[in-house]
Amino acid sequence: MEITSAEFTMSNSDYRKCPTPNKPEYAFIGRSNVGKSSLINMLTNRNALAKTSGKPGKTQLINHFLINKEWYLADLPGYGYAKVSKKSRATFHNFTVEYLQNRKNLLCVFVLLDSRIPPQKIDLEFMEFCGVKGIPFVMCFTKIDKLKPSALKTAVENYKKKMFEQWEEIPQIFISSATNKDGQDELLNFIESVNESFEI
């Protein structure tokens, strides 16, 4: 798939006010500072489609982007550590969960995982939530340019081992680097193939 257009459509905290669910939609989520905005910008070949920041917790609303006028990309607030109050974090959590459980055109959630960090409880619990609720998701390791190939292989294998403690099968895995554009083709080809199954 080639991205020919990418435009911001809206931000809000209520799934009922999101764009009309008549197009395929993919959500990107992960712990704060996992590189989510950078990955979105890399996928769409835009420098500043999604706002990036060195400070965790930059994304505080559900941000929708229309890609190729054919499908939506939803940038969700990061979970875990963020420089906001506990009350604000709870609010983020609540509307994100409501979105994930009620957005009818959501075809897949991309759970982003920092390849440099061992499996984290909060990531494992989020993926378990998706599994229990029947929310389709894939795992996408970020920042792989920061690791040597052998270290990356070990990191992914360690994550698989941890996942198999709870899962009989684990979801599809992607590896990516916003810096080197690693994984761009694989991720976009995956989205293109899933789009074909979409029915209003």
**Binning pLDDT at 50, 70 and 90, where does residue 16 land?**
very high
Residue 92 reports pLDDT greater than 70? no
pLDDT tens for each residue of 42-53: 999 988 787 654
Query: What mean pLDDT, rounded, does the chain reach?
Result: 88
Strand partners, 174: 140
pLDDT at residue number 168? 94
Question: 6-195: which CATH architecture?
Answer: 3-Layer(aba) Sandwich (3.40)
| pLDDT number for residue 20 | 96
Task: Please state, as a whole number, how many other Cβ atoms lie within 10 Å of the Cβ of residue 103.
Answer: 20
> Residue 147: is its pLDDT beyond 90?
yes
Q: Would you list the domain boundaries of the chain?
A: 6-195
Residue scoring higher pLDDT (53 or 162): 162
Look at residue 119 in the predicted model and tell me its pLDDT.
94
* pLDDT tens-digit series, residues 54-80: 444 445 789 999 999 999 999 998 776
Name the CA radius of gyration of the chain, rounded: 16
Residue 131: band (very low, low, confident or very high) from pLDDT cuts 50, 70, 90: very high
Among 71-80, 90-99, 119-128, top mean pLDDT goes to 119-128
Residue 195 buriedness (CB in 10 A; 0-12 / 13-18 / 19+): middle
In this predicted structure, the answer to whether residue 30 has a pLDDT above a threshold of 90 is yes
